[in-house]
Amino acid sequence: PFVLSSCGLLCMCADPTLAEMGKNLKEAMKMLEDGQRRSEEENGKKLISGDIPGPLQGSGQDMVSILQLVQNLMHGDEEEEPPSTRVQDIGEQGHIALLGHSLGAYISTLDKEKLRKLTTRILSDTTLWLCRIFRYENGCAYFHEEEREGLARICRLAIHSRYEDFVVDGFNVLYNKKPVIYLSAAARPGLGQYLCNQLGLPFPCLCRVPCNTMFGSQHQMDVAFLEKLIKDDIERGRLPLLLVANAGTAAVGHTDKIGRLKELCEQYGIWLHVEGVNLATLALGYVSSSVLAATKCDSMTLTPGPWLGLPAVPAVTLYKHDDPALTLVAGLTSNKPADKLRALPLWLSLQYLGLDGIVERIKHACQLSQRLQESLKKVDHIKILVEDELSSPVVVFRFFQELPGSDPGPNVVPAPSVAPSAVGRERHSCDALNRWLGEQLKQLVPASGLTVMDLEVEGTCVRFSPLMTAAALGTRAEDMDQLVACIHGKLPLLTCTLQLREEFKQEVAGTAGLLYVDDPNWPGIGVVRYEHANDDKNSLKLDPEGEKIHAGLLKKLNELESDLTFKMGPEYKSMKSCIYIGMASDDVDVSELVETIAATAREIEENSRLLENMTEVVRKGIQEAQVQLQKANEERLLEEGVLRQIPVVGSVLNWFSPVQASQKGRTFNLTAGSLESTEHTYVYKVQGSGVTPPQTPSAARTRQRLPGQKPFKRSLRGSDAVSETSSVSHVDDLEKMEHLSGGQDAPEADSPEQHPGPPAAEAEQPRALQDGAQRPDDGRPQVEDPENLR
């Protein structure tokens, strides 16, 4: 006997080994959890993990050192891993489940008779409790670690039941009459391949049943088409063996018409197996008729671990069969005590939670789902994909906005693997935005446990499945309210970005030098590429010059400190470089954005060309200077003579007859790109002005912005949000700045009634100073009257 307190696990029993084991488990879990909490608080110190194993110590280590090593291995690389990979706070119910594994190892050391009685009691109790909780009368249970393993064992049982000589003849029986396993097109990915690998069957033994396409849910199995497939297989000499139905598909949580499927299976002697997350609702007081029909199936697979938030708890496959010999051959029952002890963690956890605790956790998850559904119904541009609000605790939604499709412009370059039609482009664009929305919501509300998935018909959607995540993450009703609030906050960005895409494409199409790249998979307002002079427009191969220009353009755009995000793309090097522009709000001036991109790119290209031209000019100038210096040395040699070049003789000759050599030199004018004589400098002691350098290429005139206004924001002129006084002052300041930048004469002063200001006598003196005061004819400065100065 043992009990749990709020502070941990306390073992109070006569067996000292069991008490010591419980105490050690409590201390070990406390040490590991304290280490995790300490590593999160430090936030900067990284624990040293022994990635390279050292030699095994001869004297051994104590338990504290070993647990410290385990802690380092668990949390050492936590900074480099995403937050979702961290160990969750499992709580006391998790401690109970973990204790079951330790108890299982300890119980296995008992003598055979005690071990047989104990394992039989644990297995029978757990089976009885699960069958009563989930309304599966007179069933047997098989506990397994892999969720799909139970279905594989059920398929073996079906084969042994339908093929009497399978034990003797084996594959020859299957070859003469091939079995057929029917799976829904909405089944979990890889399930059919797993079954074939486990059973040794070829892939043609699998038959995928399509879902409804004309009416009903798009994720429900088409019963009429299934019956047609069964009849066709029988006519071909095949044996319909097993049908896997869904009570909550893996994608959207829809439930098949299990009642009609059961009637069809009874008619043709097919084994019916049901799996899905909606089977958890069988524990509630009210169950929908579609899910309740699963209690009449031949077998079902349950996953109580995620439903109840229990770690390391096995999955359970409940089935009905009367022949114990066939179940033993199929592997559903075993005489080994270790196989029966798999139920021990679940046996402990069910007793700890109790019936009320189990029902309360499942009910809480369903309430979270209903709360989110009701809230999302009131949100515009959000579509909910549900079959039945009462039977499906899975909520799948996506952002949508109806926009008229438009054909691509004449200078649009389609991205690879993009549908050519306008409908396909709009679908990909909306999928990209939904993918961005899902990732943002996952970061803002991590307790929601959202997942982003791609559906064949609907596209990219966001899924909320509280039965699989709420118990482990501790999701509350307040988290649903926060999630809806975050969706409201992100909707303006989504709608505005989708609307600005067309305007951005038109602006780029009308701007010389820019090319719009149609990449609807990018969640932003668009992708643009600058075409430089040497760009090969018919090729998408790597362009070093264009890559250099786009790298400089990206740096300039990020220095503007706007609300937009700019990225370099694509990431793979087989395409030309582009500028990817992120999400935008409705106050973005697209024309200014496109104009800035084009002007900045031209400036970078012209500066690059100017630098290259200057480099070539300097190189040629150096060569010409070397030639002229060599000629000047030869002329000096002819003028002075050979004797003056001898050190001693030259000094004597220069002392008797000095040479009046003229100062000759050369200067290189970078602006003109030519060599000039320095004679003017030595004679007049002044350097020449030379040629006026050309103006540095610059971008288009930057639009005047109000104080505090960020780049690419629309002007607040005429906005109701700005008060009348502040707007008038801002407009006056803007007009004065435009007047000063234009270099025009100052306008005449307005009347005092329009602009109240200082008296005329005080305002006249600054105007005279601006216009320039006249000086007397003698050139002396005019002296003001002392009285006026005073």
Q: What is the pLDDT of residues 335-358, one digit of tens each?
A: 888 888 899 999 999 999 999 999
Containing domain of residue 500, as a range? 496-535+542-606
Over the chain, what is the mean pLDDT? 76
Whether the predicted pLDDT of 540 surpasses 60: no
pLDDT at 623: 74
- Model confidence at 84: pLDDT above 80: no
Measured between alpha carbons, how far is residue 100 from residues 122, 231, 296, 342 in Å?
11, 49, 32, 9
Q: Look at residue 483 and tell me if it is in a domain.
A: yes
Q: Flag whether 469 is in a domain.
A: yes
Task: Retrieve residue 679's tokens.
Answer: 């004679």
3-state class (DSSP) for residue 536: coil
Same domain, 387 and 437: yes
Q: Tell me if 426 sits within 8 A of 523, measured CB to CB.
A: no
* Average pLDDT estimate for 199-218: 84
> What's the mean pLDDT in 407-427?
51
The average pLDDT across 115-133 equals: 94
| Predicted local confidence at residue 628, as pLDDT | 77
CATH of the domain at 599: 3.90.1150.10
DSSP bridge pairs for 209: 184
- Which positions ≥6 away from 601 have C-beta within 8 Å? 513, 514, 530, 532, 549, 550, 553
Among 436-445, 467-476, 715-724, whose mean pLDDT is lowest?
715-724
For residues 703-729, give the mean pLDDT.
51
Look at residue 516 and tell me whether its pLDDT is greater than 80.
yes
Is residue 398 domain-shared with residue 476, that is, in the same domain? yes
Note whether residue 190 is domain-resident.
Answer: no
The pTM for the full model equals: 0.72
User: What CATH number does residue 439 fall under?
Assistant: 3.90.1150.170
Q: Do 596 and 517 have their domain in common?
A: yes
Q: Of 435, 465, 494, at which residue does a domain stop? A: 494
Angstrom distance (rounded) from CA 480 to CA 323: 49
Quick: pLDDT tens for 468-485.
999 989 999 999 999 999
User: What phi, psi does 251 have (nearest 5°)?
Assistant: -90, -60
Can you give the three-state secondary structure of 690-735, one letter per residue? CCCCCCCCCCCCCCCCCCCCCCCECCCCCCCCCCHHHHHHHHHHHH
Which of residues 401 and 619 earns the better pLDDT score? 401
Q: Are residues 377 and 471 in the same domain?
A: yes
In a domain, 366, yes or no: yes
pLDDT band at 491 (very low <50, low <70, confident <90, very high): very high
Q: How many helices and strands (H and E) does the chain possess?
A: 25, 20
Residue 558 lies in a domain: yes
Choice among 213-222, 231-240, 254-263, 366-375 with the minimum mean pLDDT? 213-222
> pLDDT tens for residues 188-200?
999 999 999 999 9
Both tokens assigned to 589: 């001036």
For 331, other C-beta atoms within 10 Å of its C-beta total 15
Q: How far apart are CA 504 and CA 522, in angstroms?
A: 14
436 with 514, same domain: the answer is no
Confidence of residue 143 (pLDDT cuts 50, 70, 90): very high
In whole angstroms, what is the distance from residue 698 CA to residue 700 CA?
A: 7
- Shared-domain flag, residues 487 and 600: no
Q: Are 317 and 148 in contact (CB under 8 A)?
A: no
Which of 111-115, 273-277, 627-631 comes out lowest in average pLDDT? 627-631
Q: Is the pLDDT of residue 5 over 80?
A: no
Residue 90 CA to residue 546 CA, distance in Å, equals 54
Distance of alpha carbon 296 from alpha carbon 484, whole angstroms? 39
- How far is the C-alpha of 648 from the C-alpha of 432, rounded, in Å? 87
* CA–CA dist 553, 699 (Å, integer): 12
| pLDDT class of 735 with cuts at 50, 70, 90 | low
pLDDT at residue 625 is higher than 90? no
Nearest partner of 386 among 475, 438, 458, judged by Cα: 458
- Spell out the residues 6+ positions from residue 449 whose beta carbon is closer than 8 angstroms to its own: 464, 465, 466, 468, 469, 470, 472, 473, 475
Q: What is the DSSP string of 84-135?
A: GGSPP--HHHHHHHHHHHHHHHHHTTS-HHHHHHHHHHHHHHHHHHHHHHTT
* pLDDT confidence tier of residue 559, bands split at 50, 70 and 90: confident
Are residue 432 and residue 549 in the same domain, yes or no? no
Tokens standing for 46? 């990284």
Question: Among 437, 468, 494, which residue terminates a domain?
Answer: 494
Where does a domain end: 584, 606, 628?
Answer: 606
**Residues 506 and 467 placed together within one structural domain of the fold:** no
Task: Write the CB contacts of 260 (distance below 8 Å, at least 6 apart in sequence).
Answer: 223
Residue among 298, 271, 282 at smallest CA distance from 248: 282
Count: domains in the chain: 2
Tell which wins on pLDDT, 374 or 69. 374
Q: Which residue has the higher pLDDT, 326 or 534?
A: 326
- Count of other CB atoms within 10 angstroms of residue 564: 19
Q: Is residue 233 part of a domain?
A: no
Pair (505, 483) in one structural domain? no
Average pLDDT over residues 624-650: 73
116-144 as b/e: b if 16+ CB within 10 A: eebbeebbeebbebbbebbebeebbbbbb
Question: Is pLDDT of 523 > 50?
Answer: yes
Instruction: Write out the two tokens for 188.
Output: 């979990």
Residue 122 has pLDDT above 50, yes or no: yes
pLDDT at 604: 84
Q: Is 178 exposed, middle or buried (0-12, 13-18, 19+ CB in 10 A)?
A: middle
Domain co-membership, 490 together with 369: yes
pLDDT at position 611, please?
62
What is the residue type of 387? E
User: Which one has a higher pLDDT value, 86 or 588?
Assistant: 588
Q: What is d(CA 211, CA 222) in angstroms, rounded to the nearest whole number?
A: 5
- Asked if residues 719 and 727 have their Cβ atoms less than 8 Å apart, the reply is yes
Are residues 589 and 480 both part of a single domain? Answer: no
- 479, 379: one domain: yes
Q: For residue 465, is it within any domain? A: yes
Q: Flag whether 463 is in a domain.
A: yes
- Give the tokens for residue 21: 């084991």
- The separation between the first and the last C-alpha atoms of the chain, rounded to the nearest angstrom, is 104
